[in-house]
Amino acid sequence: MSGFFDHISPIQYEGPESDNPLAFKYYDKSKKVLGKTIEEHLRVAVCYWHTFCWDGSDIFGGGPFDRPWHGSVNDHTAALMKLDAAFEFFDKLGNPFFCFHDTDVMATAETPREHTENFRKIVDAIEAKMASSQTKLLWGTANMFSHPRYMAGASTNPNPDVAAFAALQVKEALEATHRLDGAGYVMWGGREGYDSILNTNLKQEMDQLGRFVAMTVEHKHKIGFKGDIWIEPKPHEPTKHQYDRDVATVYGFLKEYGLEDEVGVNIEPNHATLAGHSFEHEVEMANALGIFGSIDFNRGDPQNGWDTDQFPNDLRENTMALYYILKGGGFKNGGSNFDAKVRRQSRDAEDLFYGHIGGMDLLARALQNAAALIESGKLQAFTEQRYEKWESGMGKLMMSNNATLGDMAKYCLKENNSPEPVSARQEYLENIVTQHTK
């Protein structure tokens, strides 16, 4: 045991009446909900980057966090210390999964050879660590946005040598994810976008990105990785226009490059709201397009127009999102990754526990609310009834490709019917959600 969290005992479920801030009040992992345990439904993951890498620095100042596992230089010894801290944290929190970027886990590298060497060395150590832990890998990814070489993008860079470095990173990270038995692989296009159209060949960059994602899919099949690949939409930040702005845009991109059956989406609520959407809109859009994959749970700040990555705490928002996740069949390879960071003034290691305990309790509650909404059947019944006329008559003929525009017009004239508007009952439905938000 490395002893970074000696003062914290393993987190237990104590129930809603508990006063213990270091206990779960709702995340009763073995409780059954709609035939599966809460743990099996949610597939909670802790992310490496915000939790173990970030030192609390922001654009105005250095890092105030107390992180004894951060070495003075990020060499392999420091990477091993961080790994010890991470698995001690996982073992105490009891999260079944974790997620990482290559650069989160490894010693800093400058050249391609150094990158490969340092990354492979730490993947060996992660594999050994996982052998004596219950925590599995939800997904891996490559960080192709922090290093200045990626200033103008990774695969969308004007310089193909930068894309080649990105290819090396993705190849290594995908192979490591496969080796560590990850359920998925995420591609967030950190700087796959542009700041000014004046210096950008948009079509060329989109084609580069399309080919790069296709090469990643080809490599997945070549190495026999059976997990999923997910793109993580975000409208802007760091670039002004990110090519993968929201779920619908990503779907259009996948269609354009023939990848819609191969790649899904990892949805993040703070990215959804930055794009002007609600979280549940993005989930249901992914369901409708058949590309729902995984979630990076967090929240933004309604008054701040950027990606604040706070731990989720809005019960209604998450009840709604989980309702649409369950309605779509729930998580398969995906899960609930907390892409969330404690605030800069929450400097102690125990604040990391408060953040995750709160998030897991919230999701457990939201899941049970969502299950109750599914079981009541009221929202579903109302929506089905609203569209039932499409199951017969002219509606059915149109949707089965058995009517032309002329046929519809002829029918309309024959019936000579001016349809009466019908109430959509929004408040009635909102009251049902309120009644189930407990």
| Pick 26 or 230: Cβ nearer ligand XUL | 230
- Where does residue 327 rank: exposed (0-12), middle (13-18), buried (19+ CB within 10 A)? middle
| Pick 216 or 298: Cβ nearer Co ion | 298
Which stretch of DSSP H or E encloses residue 263? strand 263-267
CB of 194 to Co ion, least distance (A): 21
Considering only 232, 246, 282, 284, the residue that binds ligand XUL (CB under 6 A) is 232
| Strands 36-37 and 32-33, bridge-based pairing | antiparallel
| Pick 169 or 368: Cβ nearer ligand XUL | 169
Tokens of 351: 């604040």
Q: How far apart are CA 89 and CA 10, in angstroms?
A: 9
What does 361 interact with, of ligand XUL, Co ion, none (CB < 5 to 8 A by kind)?
none
The C-alpha angle 48, 5, 94, rounded to 5 degrees, equals 60
How many residues touch Co ion under the rule CB under 5 A: the total is 3
| Pick 192 or 307: Cβ nearer ligand XUL | 307
Considering only 106, 167, 186, 326, the residue that binds ligand XUL (CB under 6 A) is 186
Confirm or reject binding of residue 296 to ligand XUL (CB under 6 A): yes
Confirm or reject binding of residue 436 to ligand XUL (CB under 6 A): no
Contact 145, 193 (CB under 8 A): no
- Is 281 assigned a catalytic role? no
* Site residues (CB under 5 A) for Co ion, limited to 283-302: 296
Considering only 48, 188, 212, 251, the residue that binds ligand XUL (CB under 6 A) is 188
| Listed residue (250, 243, 234, 236) closest to 157, CA to CA | 243
| Pick 294 or 368: Cβ nearer ligand XUL | 294
| Listed residue (158, 165, 169) closest to 207, CA to CA | 158
Confirm or reject binding of residue 216 to ligand XUL (CB under 6 A): no
From 50, 101, 277, 356, active-site residue? 101
| Strands 292-297 and 36-37, bridge-based pairing | unpaired
HEC string for 115-127: HHHHHHHHHHHHH
What does 234 interact with, of Co ion, ligand XUL, none (CB < 5 to 8 A by kind)?
ligand XUL
For 342, other C-beta atoms within 10 Å of its C-beta total 23
Considering only 175, 244, 268, 307, the residue that binds Co ion (CB under 5 A) is 268
CB of 360 to ligand XUL, least distance (A): 18
DSSP per position, 68-120: TT--SS-SHHHHHHHHHHHHHHHHHHT-SEEEEEHHHHSPP--SHHHHHHHHH
Confirm or reject binding of residue 246 to ligand XUL (CB under 6 A): no
Confirm or reject binding of residue 307 to Co ion (CB under 5 A): no
| CA trace torsion 11, 12, 18, 19 (10° rounding) | -20
Which residues of 111-252 form beta strands (DSSP E)? Answer: 136-141, 184-187, 193-194, 228-231, 241-242
* Site residues (CB under 6 A) for ligand XUL, limited to 328-387: 339
- Is 101 assigned a catalytic role? yes
Residue 184, beta-bridge partner list: 139, 228
From 28, 104, 246, 309, active-site residue? 104
| Pick 321 or 371: Cβ nearer ligand XUL | 321
Confirm or reject binding of residue 141 to ligand XUL (CB under 6 A): yes
CB of 394 to ligand XUL, least distance (A): 46
Residue carrying structure tokens 């922001």: 58
* Site residues (CB under 5 A) for Co ion, limited to 153-212: none
| Strands 193-194 and 241-242, bridge-based pairing | antiparallel
CB of 216 to Co ion, least distance (A): 18
What does 186 interact with, of ligand XUL, Co ion, none (CB < 5 to 8 A by kind)?
ligand XUL
Length of the chain: 438
CB of 268 to ligand XUL, least distance (A): 5
Tokens of 432: 């049902």
Identify which range of 6-14, 114-122, 265-273, 351-359 contacts Co ion by CB under 5 A: 265-273
Confirm or reject binding of residue 230 to ligand XUL (CB under 6 A): no
Considering only 246, 280, 284, 339, the residue that binds Co ion (CB under 5 A) is 339
Confirm or reject binding of residue 307 to ligand XUL (CB under 6 A): yes
Residues that bind ligand XUL (CB under 6 A): 101, 141, 186, 188, 232, 234, 268, 296, 307, 339
The residues carrying an active-site annotation are 101, 104
